Amino acid sequence: MKHIFQKGSTETLILLHGTGGDETDLIPLANMINKEASILSVRGNVLEQGLPRFFKRIAMGVFDMESLKNETVNLHDFIQKASKDYDFDLNKATIVGYSNGANIAISLLFTYNNPVQRAILLRPMIPTREIQSTSLKDTQVIIVSSKKDTIVPIEHGVWLEKTFKSLDAQTTFYTLDTGHGLTQEDVNIIRLSMKK
């Protein structure tokens, strides 16, 4: 997969952008979270009218399940290989996924047990209700939704919190008063979550 890797001296952040973004998009956010972190920032394999995404969709909020499944495996294989090539430990890595990037991160967590140490899901949707994972007990999941998000109803965050808790993930659910876009409050929440 197209990506950027920047070697740092502390933890590794795996960045997954939203629809229409690319591997450069979340680098400023990563620098705000931890300037010393290593960064693996990945570009989604799919193009929707020229806009990069991590899996195909049929309409707004209606996902192509076959593409979701295939791309979840591709992302899993890619980060496994990258951790060997760039010599970092996935058990200590944090995924930071925004919107479409958060949605494929959820699919990864629903497919594989504890694929990373921590997943920060910013404005996520429910990508699928099919779950193969049996336990996420070694995974910390932080969900940041917004009550005024015009793209994702807050119920998605509520269901995700319940579901991740049922898989024993250490789950924290934040609800903000802003929209779909990221704000300073997101940065503050992420920084706080990384310390735990």
Catalytically annotated residues: 99, 149, 180
Comparing C-alpha atoms, which of 136, 103, 109 is closest to residue 121? 103
Binding track, positions 117-156, relative to ligand MLT; x by CB under 6 A: --------x-------------------------x-----
Size of the site for ligand MLT (CB under 6 A): 8
| Whole-angstrom distance, CA of residue 158 vs CA of residue 143 | 9
CB of 151 to ligand MLT, least distance (A): 6
**Binding of ligand MLT at residue 45 (CB under 6 A)?**
no
Decide whether 37 or 152 has the Cβ nearer to ligand MLT.
152
Tokens 């789950």, located at residue: 171
Residues 155-194 interacting with ligand MLT (rule: CB under 6 A):
none
Number of Cβ atoms within 10 Å of the Cβ of 33: 22
Out of 11, 23, 26, 57, the only residue in the binding site for ligand MLT (CB under 6 A) is 57
CA atoms within 13 A on the CB side of 167: 26
Decide whether 19 or 38 has the Cβ nearer to ligand MLT.
19
Decide whether 33 or 125 has the Cβ nearer to ligand MLT.
125
The two tokens of residue 172 are: 């924290």
Please give the order of strands across the beta sheet that includes 140-146.
3-6, 38-42, 12-16, 94-98, 118-122, 140-146, 170-176
Q: Which residues contact ligand MLT (rule: CB under 6 A)? A: 18-19, 57, 99-100, 103, 125, 151
